[in-house]
Amino acid sequence: MPGAINIPSRSLTAQALAAYPKTTLFVVYCAGPHCNGANKAAVRLATLGYPVKEMIGGVMGWLDEGFRLTGLVERVADTAVSCDC
């Protein structure tokens, strides 16, 4: 997604997020609607004091709405790979 920064949920620690002001709004998402990784990340970010929104539907919902993915490789999320949920 344009402007997205990949921060795996297991890396959401106070130390790792210290570079971001506490007013930084994080938007979290997962591969699709059946993944709870975004929810886990949202809870962790909120616990650390950051404002957070969850993008319902994840990457699949983004694509369903007609938006494109950007990056070095454009591809649909591989459902055979764990999303670390």
* Burial of residue 12, with CB atoms counted within 10 A of its CB: 0-12 exposed, 13-18 middle, 19 or more buried: buried
pLDDT score for 5: 86
C-alpha distances in angstroms, 68 versus 7, 59, 83, 84?
Answer: 20, 10, 20, 23
Prediction pTM value: 0.75
Mind listing the pLDDT tens digit for each residue in 23-82? Answer: 999 999 998 888 889 999 999 999 999 999 999 999 899 999 999 888 755 444 444 444
- Identify the CA nearest to 85 among candidates 20, 9, 12, 3: 9
